[in-house]
Structure formats: structure tokens, C-alpha cells
Chain A
Amino acid sequence: MDLLTFFEWCEQTAIGETIRNSTWLFPVIEAFHLLGLGVTGGAVLLVDLRLLGVGLIRTPVAQLSAAAQPWLLGSLSLQFASGIPLFLSEAIKCYYSIPFWVKMTSLFLALIFTFTVRRYVTRSGVAAGRPQLGRYTGVVSLCLWAGVAWGGRWIAFSG
């Protein structure tokens, strides 16, 4: 099965169909998706601003990271729970949308980076001795998540 066939199948699902046939469902799910984005933004920024040396600099990175973690995971769960139904309702449009693929690529990279390199840097305390490493980590994380938000917003403008 090639990718387009899979996307066509997604579009045919009952969830996709239900959302397409409703006036309210798409906008309401979308609004929750935006709410989740805002919380993800906060949880990411709390730690990344600190890594950049401009946030809560008197609090250890590991402590901030631990405080942000449940909100990061919680909001990401909300993002998946709302984003997948939105995708199912317009899968074919997404297939031909460049912003969609920009978003998915950024998201893939952002998730990998967040749960490997960034997790190590924030938890090990290694950034305390090497602030430059912390700054690079913060910049890469912010750029990747900014790409996710940008791509996401532009899906609506494409197609």
C-alpha cells in the first residue's frame, strides 16, 4: 500500500467522516488543539529560556525540567488526541500540503531531540558546567517547535 492509498483510507474513516459532516466539530477540536499548543509552548519555553540563560536562572535546570515535564507530556497527549481526528477529516488535503509535511518533519525531529539530547542535557546537570551546550540545546529545541507551530498554522492556508 503506498502512502496516498493510506491517506485515502484515513479520509474514509468514520471519525474523519463525522468531523467533515459537522459544522462545529472541526473548529472546536481545532480550538483545543490551539490550547494544547499554548501549554506545550509554556512547558518548552520554561526550560529552554533557562537553558538560554534568560529564564529562571536561579533554579536548577533539572528542577525546572521536572516541573514542566507533566505539562509537556499532558499537552502533547492533548495535541495527539485532537490533531489525529483533525488530520483524519482532511487527510487528502494534508497529503498535498507542503506545510503539513514541514510540520510532520519538524515534529518528528522535535520529539526525538526532546526525548534524547534535551532530556539528557536537562536531567544530567551537564549544562551547569557547559552553558554553551545548554544554549545550543535551547536554540535547537525552540527552532524545531517553532517549525511545528508554523507548519501547523499554514496547513489551513494550503490547498
Chain B
Amino acid sequence: MSLLAFFQRLADSSWSIGLHESQYAYPIVESIHVWALCLFFGTVVMFDLRLLGWIMRSVPISEVVGRLRPWTIAGFIIMVISGSLLFFAIPVRSYQNIFFRGKMILLVLAGLNIWLFHSRVYPKVIAWDSAGVPPRAARIAGAVSLVLWSGILFSGRMIAYNWFDCDRQPQTALINFLTSCIPTESQF
């Protein structure tokens, strides 16, 4: 079964239709997504700024990690749950939405950045824990994180707009390729 067929079946489920058509469920989940965004993105930004040596220079990095990370993780879990529900409410449209796809790619890159930071840079933190301005590798990880998460926020907000959606033709061939859209066969 292709991904598209799978999401079409999801879209036909009563849960998906219920979430999509409910007057309050969708906006409530969306609001929770935004609240969790403040928690997740907010704590990530504060940590990245510390990595860049722009704020809290006298606070050890390990302390910032230890005290903020539980909140970052909690925010992330709520983001993933609420975000999955938002996707589940309109699966086919989200799957083919160009901004959703961009967001997913940026998410993978952000995950890669976190993995690189925690496997290569952070293990040696003991050497620069109290440094006001951390070494170059840590600063790069912070800057990359800021750029990627801002891009994720940006593209996430844009998912709401249907400029490049499959049911709005004509689109250029490139757009239809990027959204896996076959205009004549598209259905919602």
C-alpha cells in the first residue's frame, strides 16, 4: 500500500473525520500545540543562546542542560502528540502539503544536529562547562539549532495555507513533483 493510499484510509476513519469536523477539538489541539511550542522552542532558544555565549555566561552549561532539558523534552512530547493529532485530522492534505514536507525535512536535520551535539560535542563539556563563550563546535550547534527550529516554526505556520495544494491546479510541474501530486487523480 502506498503512503498516499494509507493516508487516504486514515482520512476515511471516523476518528479523523470527527477531529476534522469538530467545532472545538481541532482548535483546542491547535492551541495546545502552540502552548507546547512556547515551552519547547522557548527553552531550546534559551539553551542555544547560552551555547552561543550570548546569555547566562556565568551559569555552567551542564546546569542549563540538566535543569532545562526535562522541560524541553516535555514540550517536545506534547508537540509530537498534538502535532500527530493535527496531521491525523487532515492526513492526505498534510501529506501532500509542501510546507509540511519542508517541515519534516527540517525536523530530521534538527534531530541530526542534536545527535551530533550529544555524541561529539557535549561529551567533552567538562573542559568548557564554565566557559562564558563555549568552543566553536558548540556555538555552531547552537546557531544551527536556532536556524532549523525557526525554519520549522515558520514552515509549520505555513501548512495552513493551500497555495501549492494538489486541489489547486494549475501548479508548475516542479510543485506537483514536490507534493507528489498527480492532478487528474487527486482526490480529497
Using a CB–CB cutoff of 8 Å, the interface residues on chain A facing chain B are: 23, 27, 30-31, 34-35, 37-46, 49, 54-59, 63-64, 67-68, 71, 145-146, 149-150, 152-154, 157
Contacts and interface: CB of A to CB of B under 8 A. Distances in A.
Given A56-B68, A152-B34, 11 more contacts: A35-B154, A37-B38, A40-B38, A46-B42, A57-B67, A58-B67, A64-B56, A149-B31, A150-B34, A150-B35, A153-B30
Given A38-B45, A45-B71, A64-B56, A154 B150 contact: no
Given A38-B38, A41-B37, A56 B157 contact: no
A71 B56 contact: no
The prevalent SS among residues of B at the interface is: helix
26 contacts: A23-B163, A27-B157, A38-B38, A38-B41, A38-B153, A41-B37, A41-B39, A41-B42, A42-B41, A45-B43, A49-B71, A55-B68, A55-B71, A56-B56, A56-B67, A56-B68, A57-B67, A58-B63, A64-B56, A67-B55, A67-B56, A68-B55, A71-B46, A153-B30, A153-B31, A154-B31
A154 B33 CA distance: 12
Contact of B45 (A42, A58, A63): A42
A27 B161 contact: yes
A30 B158 CA distance: 9
B39 A59 contact: no
B6 to A, nearest CB: 29
Contacts of B49: 71
B63 A59 contact: yes
Most chain A CB neighbours (cut-off 10 Å) among B35, B37, B38: B38
Contact of B35 (A39, A56, A146): A146
Contact of A38 (B42, B63, B160): B42
Nearest to A23: B163
Contact of B63 (A31, A45, A56): A56
Interface of B: 27, 30-31, 34-35, 37-39, 41-46, 49, 55-56, 58-59, 63-64, 67-68, 71, 150, 153-154, 157-158, 160-161, 163
Nearest to A151: B31
Contacts of A56: 56, 59, 63-64, 67-68
Contacts of B56: 56, 59, 63-64, 67
Contacts of B30: 153, 157
B68 A41 contact: no
A150 B31 contact: yes
A31 B153 contact: yes
Contact of A154 (B27, B42, B71): B27
A149 B163 contact: no
Contact of A59 (B43, B46, B59, B71): B59
A39 B157 contact: no
Contacts of B38: 37-38, 40-42, 45, 145, 149
A43 B54 CA distance: 13
Given A55-B68, A157-B27, A35 B153 contact: yes
Contacts of A152: 34
A71 B55 contact: yes
A39 B64 contact: no
A31 B41 contact: no
